[in-house]
Amino acid sequence: MSDLSAFPITGKWPAQHPDRIQLYSLPTPNGVKASIMLEECGLAYEPHRVDFATNDQLTPEFISLNPNNKIPALIDPDGPGGQPLTLWESGAILIYLAEKTGKFLPQDAAARYHTIQWLMWQMGGVGPMMGQLGFFHKFAGKEYEDKRPRDRYVAESRRLLGVLDRHLEGKDWIMGSAYTIADIAVFPWVRNLIGFYEAGELVGYADFANVDRVLKAFVARPAVQRGLLIPAPPKAQD
């Protein structure tokens, strides 16, 4: 039995199964990258909900694991060399889990780096741009009379969708016939853009048939469907 008591975060979120990967997350586009990957790989893990409504991400316990106070983060009790490993940043988590399991990251060197290239494209472009669009379209930023900030992120999100749509022409997935961590990184953000952010019409999503085709294939995967709901909301009290 693994002992995770040395990690302060387990004081706030006790590990019921300390021999499993401990995931600290929320079902946001970045958060579900980790839960979907864990589901796809079939790894045993224990999810813990980091609730933004109560600022869990700002507590000393969470910051002890991730000083950048963002989700997701994890502890793998069976990390490299059999020692516990703590990790944060969704892209780093995807690469780590792919290497740990030998899944969803090509072994061929060129294909491997091209997969990582698209992962970095999501992290450097898709996530930040679509996230800002969400702020200016749905959240507090929508009250700003000056629509130039919103329109900047609309234009950039549309440009990124165009890049992806052209790349997906004639392909099943971003890397062709192989489903990879690039897909796991990108498509939660596309789904969020047209779903939770309600910005599909704003960016002209109907123009990107290839993106929509692959998004539908992504969401149809059973592991994706499970991962999109993890961590689950707390049960209502009677």
pLDDT in tens, 102-132: 999 999 999 999 999 999 999 999 999 999 9
Rounded CA gap, 170 and 86, in Å?
Answer: 39
User: What pLDDT band is residue 236 in, cutting at 50, 70 and 90?
Assistant: low
pLDDT in tens, 14-68: 999 999 999 999 999 999 999 999 999 999 999 999 999 999 999 999 999 999 9
Backbone phi and psi for residue 176, each to the nearest 5 degrees, phi listed first: 100, -115
Number of Cβ atoms within 10 Å of the Cβ of 14? 13
pLDDT value at residue 14? 97
pTM of the model: 0.95
The structural domains of the chain, ordered by start, are 9-103 (3.40.30.10), 109-221 (1.20.1050.10)
pLDDT value at residue 237? 47
Geometric angle at alpha carbon 117, from 116 and 120, rounded to 5°:
85
Q: Which residues contact 160 (CB under 8 A, 6 or more apart)?
A: 125, 126, 129, 130
